[in-house]
Chain A
């Protein structure tokens, strides 16, 4: 070991090390907080083993396994890959275990460190006890972008830290509180699945997995935490495979333990839980999702109660359940779609009620319509885009010909068996394909057709002031501007170009609901033009 170490140290002392020392010394007087070796530990009272298990309900086997893999003080280890679904306690367990063991570790999350450079610099900063602040104009201790540089810096930093640790343990053992134990140092990489997105995982991911072989330092332990299973990383690259440690989803009992942990009125909550847990567990077992839903539902559940400390009897439970029941189904649906929704609606309604009651009526009327302003020509453009996306292009002529509407109807009326079948097939195909793409010309042609139609009817029905302004040119100008603003609002998507003639093609992402709403606001008979069966 000493053989490996000594040349490294001598080589390093030449330039960079002295430079870094200088940097630290120069900033010393200004620096308000100077991290020490203690900062590699948790800096809190270490947890006892019982506390550790009790604060992580349902994760007993995982905790024990992790402890086994880490081994006693100063024992070298192989890399570990902790994996499991989101919100199953991977990060918490790892961190709490380190708090319990009180060993030095360096944590870096690949969400926060969104690029290799920031990841490297964050690790080095922690190892070299550097904190960014206004004194050093928020810069890192070293600029490091390449993995090769990183290895060199890392090795050097690790050696100095380990030397420090060894010296400490020799002198004082672990009498001083807060002083991390042992001479092992652990590098924790959280959210490893994000790394796959960086430069297509070609270099960084293998490099991180390979770090154990590259460093060849027994005092360094590597722990990877990932959302996805080991199969999603390609391990047959010739490095030591990390030992997988799986965190399965919580069971219902685990969830009960987790949610009962800090409730004031346990009896009430458990009765609430009996109602709610079963249906929701079928949908999701993620603690974060469930806790958001449960907290809002529990508020509703306990709404009729005046005294929150009351212990419910059977009769009361039944009443509360009937009170809650209508909310469960909606909350269930919402959880599935978007959990942000139920809370929001609720708040919004309360908001409006608070503000003024007179306005309420108008707001509720408006819910039926579109809830935002669009100019008339943008509306027509949206409808024509919707039509162009939905209808097959071959039907355009028959639909928008002045005589075409009635013709197409007649044709539809007497279909043979076979044609019916065929139509069903094509319909299915259309459904599978989703909205179709269309070139700009087709959109404009349909737009012109429907606006001219609409303006005719408008002239007849209510001769608004529109007539003064005069005819079709009123709606037609500036269409491209409207189109671009529709694109910006994500209603129309500018797609790839057609392979045959390089023009851009468009596609609408508008739901039929919205299109119908828009059409209704214009009094445009959209359903007449939609190709269905």
Chain B
């Protein structure tokens, strides 16, 4: 996907373009190895680079090199699979963890309502399978319904949630069926959803689905367990079918203790809007709420990117892009995970040294750098490492195994520090809705870190003291969330501060320098506490007010101290990964690749390709660079080029005439001038002209249709039969 975009740049020969697909793996590798040395030459295509390079290499060693590259590729693939598996399983665990409490709640509610249904009486088999209802009282038709608010308009994230819920309930002994909105369509009617219900319970398909079948099936199951029917999203269900379903279930609820669970994506008004009152009134609803998507997102980010998980990381720009995509575009966790996966794939694809990540995952603590393990010559490895721009910046003159290992462990150490500080900041801001994703973006910003390094301590203090609205200057805006967190610490009461410090202490266990400071603060706090408790004993009730004042001051000074500590942590230890040498191995930074893979922008692509088709076709007949329209060009392309001259309405007649003139122009005029003196053949000519007229019309129509299919044009309407309407303007 992404490489093909680059491949669109002109290759040197046509042959090369043909074989391009076959050699792709090789030349991607070439690109990986070559990229660093040729970093400055950004505009040139890859194929050309390859050709430039090949003469330099001795011919016999080329094969050897290729083999090695291949081996390295497989190494990287292995590493990718390993890393992604780790990330994926972490995400799954996190999501499951988030839902457990709600699931537990739902399960206990299910059993409770089952008990309520059972208290109305347990019918025996002949009674349960009889067609007429068991009459007890008016409440016996109530259908217990759990409304699960998913808190997200998009539904994709929750498909998995409901599946998990089904599994959870099944494990607790319930009979569970998962229905989706596809089962509630007007076309299939109620038979469709009953059929899928029976299919899931009875494990067999029946041609006549009937709820009495379910009753006799339930009778054979000993009546001990509740029957749970989960409907994914009621917004998408057909209202009439759903209400029929509810009416039917509620008629049978004493005989088959069905408990309904419905997912509601928007608000509680949704069931009211969809269902008629007679169905609504049969429901006995109970509301459950899943975590909001932002919370889930934070949990995922924390587990995957902040806590040590796989070693893979994303750069600031990528993080910002992903955050913006989440907030303003899609809003689903699914797409976030997908973009993370794309980033991960691209990273391993492009980064020759990325296979190191695998061992990063394997041995978390005592990770040692051994080159020999990878079966690569150290020279190649050093070369790669040396080519990394971040390493060059440090200006190490000579790369040795020791220096490389040292640099890597250094990277790891500062990463750990960064992690600890970010977690501390997150814990601080948790109560005040500081989103980890925002914090992550900010903490990962290399520019603001560099600026911070230059800034003096006092300046930072000033930022945090001044309220967010009064802050001025572009440099201060970046650290908004961090400043807020620091600001928050100041205002904490002693008790809260104590709790927070405890958390900090836990988080910073690995980093001595910070941990010592935190412990100092804690002991200070203890002394303070002791003082205040002593004061409690001494101070008489008269002085109550003054004592409180004093206490507040105490805690304030402590808060100031804590805030200062946090500031120092941010300044000294929160070093973004992009500021550390060798970070390219672990960190994906290429936003453009990610964007083109994720969003694509297909319509623009189509327009560009239609206008500049030479780049794709590479035909010899069309002169590159000239704007003149030639009859040998592709019809649709000619048409679209012609359409550029019109406004939003295109007169079909004019368009056709200009198309015809382009198609016929050079050849026919020549012919006419030559052949007109021969009267004998005139008839033939007329005929052929007629034929060509017809074929031109056919070509015209086809081109118009193609433009319509690609969404660039709208066909003439009845209102304006002579005009086609342009839909897309500009690029």
Interface residues of A (CB under 8 A from B): 32-33, 35, 39, 43, 86-87, 91-92, 95-96, 106-109, 111-115, 117-118, 121-122, 126, 131-134, 137-140, 188, 262, 287-289, 291-292, 295, 337-341, 343-344, 347-348, 351, 362, 370-378, 462-463, 465-466, 468-469, 474-475, 477-478, 481-482, 485-486, 488-491, 500-502, 509, 514
Q: Tell me if B327 and A376 are in contact (CB < 8 A).
A: yes
Across the interface, which residues of A come within 8 angstroms of B277, CB to CB?
Answer: 338-339
Contact B266 A337 (CB under 8 A): no
A112 to B255 Cα, complex, angstroms: 13
Which residues of B lie under 8 Å from residue A137 when comparing CB positions? 204
In the docked arrangement, what's the CA distance between A108 and B131, Å? 6
Closest Cβ of chain A to B622, distance in Å, is 31
Partner of B719, one of A344, A468, A501: A501
The segment from B55-63, B245-253, B299-307, B579-587 found at the interface with A is: B245-253
- Scoring B residues 302 to 345 as 1 if CB is less than 8 Å from chain A, else 0, what string do you get? 00000000000000010011011011111100000000000000
Are B135 and A92 in contact (CB-based, < 8 A)?
yes
CA distance A285 to B125 in the complex (A): 35
Contact A340 B271 (CB under 8 A): yes
Q: Are A488 and B138 in contact (CB under 8 A)?
A: no
Chain A residue with the shortest CB-CB distance to B441: A465
CB nearest neighbor in A for B278: A86
Expressed in whole angstroms, the minimum distance between the Cβ of A198 and any Cβ of chain B is: 10
Name the interface residues of B146-190: CB closer than 8 Å to any CB of A.
147, 149-155, 189-190
Name the B residues within 8 Å of A289 (CB-CB).
281
* Cross-interface CB contact of B191 among A114, A338, A462, cutoff 8 Å: A114
Interface residues of B (CB under 8 A from A): 105, 125-127, 129-133, 135, 137-139, 141-142, 147, 149-155, 189-191, 198, 202, 204, 206, 208, 210-213, 216-217, 219-220, 235-236, 244, 247-248, 251-252, 265-268, 270-274, 277-278, 280-281, 283-288, 292-294, 317, 320-321, 323-324, 326-331, 433, 441, 474, 477, 599, 601, 717-719
- Complexed CA–CA distance, A43 and B131 (Å): 13
Contact of A114 among B149, B248, B285 (CB under 8 A): B248
Looking at A35, A117, A288, the one whose CB has the most chain B CB atoms below 10 A away is: A288
- Do B266 and A372 touch across chains, with their CB atoms under 8 A apart? yes
Contact between chains at A378 and B208 (CB < 8 Å):
no
A114 closest partner in B (C-beta): B190
Most chain B CB within a 10 A radius of its CB, from A86, A138, A488: A138
Partner of B149, one of A138, A371, A468: A371
Instruction: Identify B212's interface contact among A132, A341, A371, CB under 8 A.
Output: A132
Residues of B within 8 Å of A481, CB to CB, are: 330
Say whether A138 contacts B202, CB under 8 Å. Answer: yes
**Complex contact A118–B283 (CB within 8 A):** no
Are A374 and B153 within 8 A (Cβ)?
yes
> Across the interface, do A488 and B235 meet the contact criterion of CB distance under 8 Å?
yes
Which of B139, B152, B599 is close to A373, meaning CB atoms less than 8 Å apart? B152
List the 5 closest pairs (A to B, CB-CB), nearest first.
Answer: A375-B331, A501-B717, A107-B132, A376-B328, A348-B287
- The winner among A32, A138, A339, A465 for most chain B CB atoms within 10 A is A465
Task: Knowing that A132-B216, A291-B139, A469-B320 touch, tell me 5 more A-B residue pairs with CB under 8 angstroms.
Answer: A107-B132, A111-B251, A372-B150, A376-B328, A514-B267
* 25 pairs of residues in contact across A and B, judged by CB atoms under 8 Å: A39-B126, A109-B132, A111-B251, A112-B252, A114-B189, A115-B191, A118-B210, A121-B208, A132-B213, A137-B204, A287-B138, A288-B141, A292-B284, A338-B277, A340-B271, A340-B280, A344-B285, A344-B287, A347-B287, A372-B265, A377-B329, A477-B329, A486-B153, A500-B717, A501-B718
A347 to B147, CA, bound (A): 12
Per the bound structure, the CA–CA distance linking A188 and B132 in Å amounts to 10
Contact status B137-A291, CB under 8 Å: yes
Which single member of B135, B189, B210, B270 contacts A95 (CB below 8 Å)? B135
Chain A residues contacting B719 (CB-CB under 8 Å) are 500-501
Residue pair B324, A87 in contact (C-beta under 8 Å): no
Residue of B nearest to A117 (CB): B208
Chain B residues, Cβ within 8 Å of A344: 147, 268, 285-287
- Tell me the complex Cα distance, A372–B296, Å: 13
Residues of the B chain whose Cβ atoms lie less than 8 Å from the Cβ of A375: 153-154, 326-331
- Complex Cα–Cα for A264 and B129 (A): 33
Complex CA gap A466/B321 in Å reads 9
CB distance from A115 to the nearest CB of B (A): 7
B300 → chain A closest CB, angstroms: 15
Q: Are B202 and A477 in contact (CB under 8 A)?
A: no
Asked if B281 contacts A372 (CB within 8 A), the reply is no
Q: Contact: A373 with B155, CB < 8 Å?
A: no
CB-CB < 8 A to A465: which residues of B? 320, 323-324, 441
Determine whether the beta carbon of A111 is less than 8 Å from that of B202. Answer: no
Return chain A residues, CB-CB under 8 Å to B287: 344, 347-348, 351
User: What residues of chain A lie closer than 8 Å to B433, measured between beta carbons?
Assistant: 362
Instruction: Determine if B132 and A95 form an interchain contact, defined as CB atoms under 8 angstroms apart.
Output: yes
B272 touches A490 (CB 8 A): no
* Contact A343–B284 (Cβ < 8 Å): yes
C-alpha spacing A347/B284, complex, angstroms: 11
What's the Cα separation between A228 and B208 when bound, in Å? 28
How many angstroms from the CA of A118 to the CA of B190 in the assembled complex?
12
In the complex, the answer to whether A372 meets B151 with C-beta atoms within 8 Å is: yes
A43-B126, A91-B133, A340-B285 known; A134-B331 Cβ under 8 A: no
Contacts of B133 in A (CB 8 A): 91, 95, 109
Say which residue of A134, A376, A490 sits within 8 Å of B235 (CB atoms): A490
Name which residue of chain B comes closest to A38, CB basis: B126
Point out the residues of chain B lying under 8 angstroms from A374, CB to CB.
153, 331
Distance from A523 Cβ to chain B, minimum over Cβ atoms (Å): 14
Residues of A within 8 Å of B285, CB to CB, are 340, 343-344, 347
Asked if B286 and A134 sit within 8 Å, CB to CB, the answer is no
Contact A113 B139 (CB under 8 A): no
Q: A431 to chain B: closest CB distance in Å?
A: 20
CB-CB nearest in chain B for A501: B717
CB distance from B503 to the nearest CB of A (A): 16
Complex Cα distance A115/B189, Å? Answer: 10
User: Which residues from chain B contact A491 at a C-beta distance below 8 Å?
Assistant: 266
Q: Verify B328–A377 contact, CB threshold 8 A.
A: yes
A485 (CB) vs chain B CBs: closest residue: B154
User: Which residues from B are CB-within-8-Å of A111?
Assistant: 244, 247-248, 251
Q: How near does chain B come to A354, taking the closest CB pair, in angstroms?
A: 10
Residue of A nearest to B294 (CB): A373
A65 to B286 Cα, complex, angstroms: 42
Chain B proximity of A17: nearest CB distance (Å): 22
B142 contacts across to A, CB distance below 8 A: 292
Q: Are B281 and A288 in contact (CB under 8 A)?
A: yes
Q: Is the CB of A488 within 8 A of B320?
A: no
Tell me, rounded to whole Å, the shortest Cβ–Cβ distance linking A125 to chain B: 8
**A474–B328 touching, CB < 8 Å:** yes
Q: How far is the CB of A157 from chain B (nearest CB, A)?
A: 15
B191 pairs with A112, CB closer than 8 A: no
Q: Is the CB of A122 within 8 A of B131?
A: yes
Q: Among the listed A134, A140, A339, which residue makes an inter-chain contact with B281, where contact means beta carbons less than 8 Å apart?
A: A339
Contacts of A288 in B (CB 8 A): 138-139, 141, 281
> Contact at B327–A112, with CB atoms within 8 Å?
no
Does the CB pair B330–A478 fall under 8 Å? Answer: yes
A362 nearest CB neighbor, chain B only: B433
Residue of A nearest to B270 (CB): A490
A501 to B716, CA, bound (A): 9
- The one of B149, B270, B718 in contact with A500, judged by C-beta atoms closer than 8 angstroms, is B718
**Can you name the residue of chain B whose Cβ is closest to the Cβ of A502?**
B717
Q: Are A371 and B208 in contact (CB under 8 A)?
A: no
User: Contact: B320 with A468, CB < 8 Å?
Assistant: yes
Complex alpha-carbon distance, A371 and B290, angstroms: 12
CB-based nearest A residue for B127: A43
Distance, CA A393 to CA B204, complexed state (A): 55
In the complex the two chains form, is A112's CB within 8 Å of B154's CB?
no
A483 to B251, CA, bound (A): 38
Quick one: which of A138, A337, A338, A377 contacts B216, CB cutoff 8 A? A138
Distance, CA A501 to CA B714, complexed state (A):
11
Residues from chain A with Cβ under 8 Å of B147 in the complex: 344
CB neighbours (8 Å) of A373 from chain B are 151-154, 292-294, 331
